[in-house]
Amino acid sequence: MSRFEMRALEVHSNLVWNFDHLRRALDFMGEQGMNTLVLHRNDIVDLIVYPGVFFGASRESRNIFERYQQIYQKLYKYTPTRRSGPYQRRDYLQRVFEVAERRGIEVIFENKELYFPDVLLELYPELVQGGTTCPNQPLWWDFLKTKYTELFQEFPRLKGIITAPGTGESRVAISSNRCECELCQQATPRDWYISVLDSMYQPIKAAERTLAVRDFVFDKKAQTELAAAFAALPADVVISLKNTPHDYYPTFPDNPRIGDVGTHRQWIEFDTMGQYFGWGVAPAIIIDDYRRRLDYAEEKGASGVIFRTDWESLDGHTVFHNFNLINLYAGAALANGSKARNTDFYRTWLKSEKFLNADATDVAIDEAASWAEKLLADSWAIVAGALYVNSCVFNDSSNYPVSLDHAWWLAEVKNSLKDWDPTKTKALETSRANVEAILAEKSEAVKTLERSLPVLETKPDALSEDAYAWIRANMTAAHLYVRGWEAVGRACILTRQALDHPDDATVTDERIEAALHALLAISGEIRLHEKQSDLHFVAYVAMGWERLEVLHADLQKQLSGSRTDN
């Protein structure tokens, strides 16, 4: 018996619009016992709904073509590039629904609200007050009701909507509101959340479908404001929660909202691709983390889980391209109640991805699975030691930081761990002991990876030559990438220490210069590797030698300024 009623795979990037990719994802889901496809784009609803009423179509129109019949000339006048796009994408998604339905898979859309087409501001100028878009104009509530009414007329098979009103990633959000009109002066964040969600809930409820609300926020204050609105939501609204607070950082504690949503059903969200843990360029197999967090979700009463497979800002890449696909195989199985060993998930990966010779025996396949597990068993420890500093997020969505201030902003402001774990308040302090601990953490990440590399010297009999070559090439890239992180960590923490303690005689110029030289040297190695190899483009995006050069220049400038001041 499955542990969770809903077991979902989420597509978040522009691969939503790639039919071949969605067909592959649906095949995977059917084989692995997943039952819900989540199509996540911030503007997905706005790309398939005009809405016609706001361009002059009758509210009695039954579908997009009856609306288009009435408004095509106005669309062409005001927004010609949107004239045919919505009905083309609508027909595309109808085909996706048909393919999913054959496999017994339901479809949910996920977005962020408020979202709207640009032309709306021209047609309804009252939406702009004092030069900025006003989130509290009453017209928004009619817009939302109309948009979702038309959406469910077009897609009666759509299971529901997951929305995030608390993030500033939508086009209008109370969390980033800059309007100072009278309405905004009087409204509270709770009032706004309730207005948005009620305007969505009414047409979704009328269609007998499900509204799920995410607590995706960027700090504790916003989470508390949004949680205040949860209490006012109807009982059948689902609360969807990331497994960790703020975002998918495996070093963070469990999201404190899990189990704290009243009587609402809960869905818990996981990342498999690794927005913040290496994109699979440096493999990060987090099966043990999934085991614990899925147990916790079940204990706290969750009825659904969602596994994200890509990221909206990295189009063309997906977990299906790299080692981290093992995470998805494991997550799907564990959500179904599997008690399998970790080795079994490596075996499933090798077999399902056709990495094995056709004549491989079961014994040989078991040996190959054990070989893969030995190679990758410490991968998460490596990434945690490289891309994080004392558990703090030091990476820019797995990219290297571009300045010293950028690195500290990522770790202490944008992705602050101390907001959720007070013991980490001094995680980045530059005391001598803490600096040495951070340097040791960076070195150990590289050493751990290098201890695993000798496994590559012998190919398992069951593994195909092509698969073996692919694994070796990608582990070479991972080694460069992690060494880049060691150089970044060393150069940044030593520079910060020098700036914080200009009179400390133990902070030597020689040590800092060696770190800066190593940073520039690894940049050169990565640049040479890029010219000589032919990996998937994302490897070179992640390794980013230009980012390392820009960081190097910033650190030199910071140090030069400090020396001049003294």
pLDDT tens digits, 258-283: 999 999 999 999 999 999 999 999 99
pLDDT of 345 reads: 98
Q: How do the domains of the chain map onto residue ranges?
A: 6-41+84-353, 365-565
d(CA 420, CA 47): 36
- For every residue of 288-309, DSSP letters joined together read HHHHHHHHHHHHTT--EEEEE-
Alpha-carbon distance of 374 to 453, in angstroms, equals 10
Q: Are strands 238-242 and 128-129 parallel, antiparallel or unpaired?
A: unpaired
3 state SS of 84: coil
Rg (CA), the chain: 25
The per-residue pLDDT for 508 is 80
CA–CA separation, 561 and 121 (whole Å): 47
Nearest residue to 90 via CA among 134, 130, 52, 131? 52
Residue with tokens 């497994």: 243
pLDDT lower than 50: segments of the chain: none
CATH code matching the domain that covers 6-41+84-353, chosen among 3.40.50.300, 3.40.605.10, 3.30.429.10, 3.20.20.80: 3.20.20.80
- The residue type of 92 is Y
Of the candidates 494, 527, 485, 489, the one whose C-alpha atom is nearest the C-alpha of residue 513 is 494
Let me know if 294 is exposed, middle or buried by CB neighbors in 10 A (0-12, 13-18, 19+): buried
Are the beta carbons of 163 and 212 closer than 8 angstroms?
yes
Pairing of strands 238-242, 304-308: unpaired
Average pLDDT, the chain: 94
Q: Take residue 381 and report the two structure tokens written for it.
A: 């420890």
CB 308 within 8 A of CB 272: yes
Token reading at 524: 């050169």
Confidence (pLDDT) at 367: 98
How many angstroms separate the CA atoms of 351 and 295, rounded?
27
Question: Chain centroid to CA 366: how far?
Answer: 33
